[in-house]
Structure 1
Amino acid sequence: MSLPVLPMHDPVASPVAGSDLSPASARELHEEIRALARARDAVILAHNYQVPEVQAVADFVGDSLQLAVEAQKAAQSTIVFCGVHFMAESAKVLNPKKRVLLPNLSAGCSLADSITAETLEDWKARYPGHAVVTYVNSTAEVKALSDICCTSANAASVVRSLPQRKILFTPDKNLGRWVAAQVPEKEVVVYDGCCPVHDVLRASSVGKARAGHPDAVVIAHPECRQDVVELADEVCSTTAMLAAVARHPAAKTFIVATEHGIVHQLRQRWPDKEFVVADGCLGCRMHCPYMKMIDLVMVRDALVRGRHEVDVPPDVAAGARRALERMIAVPRDA
């Protein structure tokens, strides 16, 4: 089952969680942002992990792959990317003639920071003849040195599509291990990086959540550790979790093993279902601080002041664009 990127625009449906804004102020700011987006010829894209009020003000909400595609399809001359830096970089790489704005330059990514271009060059030298598959959670410089990129939604398909039997997978070790299990015909060497938000989760926490909800369906992101993945009924990307719920119509409760921001989308789509964050403490452990660094005021200021513009050097952008476009061209069932 394929689900589209979700169009948003309902400030009432999205409480201002963790914000100092009153509901009335949030509604006013929401309407101001929408008017500014029209006036500035801008499209607002938001990742599934963003805070609810930012998801609500966006034109489209989705995962990395969906938003990369949506950025290319957008007719607007300006892209406001509510996510983290590597995502805004990718949007710029794929849309070199458009202006790409990241409302908060501090929104980085620990996983992307775990590998540099120099480290990848050294790693490639140790494994000649291997194709390099790089997760999109990486810098443009690292993408530029890769044969192809992937997301959690299409990682197995990307590896399966390559003619080479030997693969270097970077930088997420948990996703790489999961991909290797899905594509056993390939020899996959995995880099030792991880997303700390997913890597912190343990099977014991999932077990406790399941003990309290014995009939629940467990849905896990493939960036989770192997012991967590082995307990899951479904392993998939964030947006694919929406489809996973649809595959279990009789289930009333779902335990979700990923950054807790996705629960907002799940509750919007399935209001009659119960969604429990797998860490057992309402998402306090499965919380990405970088993904929560953008708020409505920052989105408004990005549109008013044109900040903060993201650019990528032409030589780096050319290599990264090749790797990203190869990824986008791979069919999901390759």
Structure 2
Amino acid sequence: MSNGNQIAYHLRPNKTVDRNLFVDLLNKINNYKNISDYIYVGFGGPFLEDFKVMHTILKIKKMISLEIIENTHKRQKFNMPISCIDIGDGPHTAQDFLTNYHFKKRSRHIVWLDYTLPSEINQQLGEIELLCNNLNPYDIIKVTLNAHAETLGRDNSLPYSASPHAFRANALQDILDVYAPHPIQEKHVTTKAYPTTLLHALDKAMHMGIRTRPDISIQPLSSFIYADGQTMLTATAIILENNHSKVERFFKGSRLNNWPFLNKLWDKPKDISIPVMSLKERLEIEAKLPNSTPEEIIDSMGFFLADSEPHTIKQLRTFIEYQRAIPWFSKVQL
């Protein structure tokens, strides 16, 4: 669906962590609703890796891949890992699908809109609004957006050393338009704050989508940022009936309140970026857990895994917190 899908997962370890956390979340919901009965919709890319995972781990048997690039669609036909993926007769946009597809009330859906192009954020939020207007109780929506502040550009008439924040605030105000969660100021477009600003814009787009649907509500479940190059924001929500007792019943039945990564308010996304490590470095770190602190690990190894000690400490803390979701990659000779 986008250029980001041309990059293999083994070159995007942080995205793989995000996917593994999503599967973990769906397994929790499976305590309350049978996930294998859901229909999965997403951007499959040339290798359809997410689809294979959804079938293998969650036993989902009906899946729909959206793809706009003709050559990628041809690669999907060649790389088809399982027979239950519908890739359609040819390329089609997410907008085409959302306009024409009927989300039946008796069918439940998981929709992952995995966007990568920052130039199309307004259009993407519009598609999210349209999607939410069509969803039904217990449908699940996951969205990935490019949250790299540098993509907002800078005023080339000024020296490069000048602050770009005023230019970027004006640019983002124009880009978001009706989806701006508040008047965009310079503090909202810093590298650190920009993902949170986009998260709140996403929240507004979803609520705009259900404004004519008093029967349902949007319930945030998780939000993360990661970087395998550019910073990406990813967030997951579920559609629930607009009934307090039924919402409480969902959280009790799914046991999501005990999930350590739950974010019910979408106030700020959690950073899941992990350090870039060799196999030997990872084994050494894991051998020192759970009894060693990041500071003690750095002292023992004698070097930093990132560009500074504070950055290394931050990434090691993330590694420790999300260790269970971090993949192992290795070369296999066939």
TM-score of the superposition, structure 1-length normalised? 0.29
TM-score of the superposition, structure 2-length normalised? 0.29
Greater relative CO, 1 or 2 (CA 8 Å, sep 6+): 1
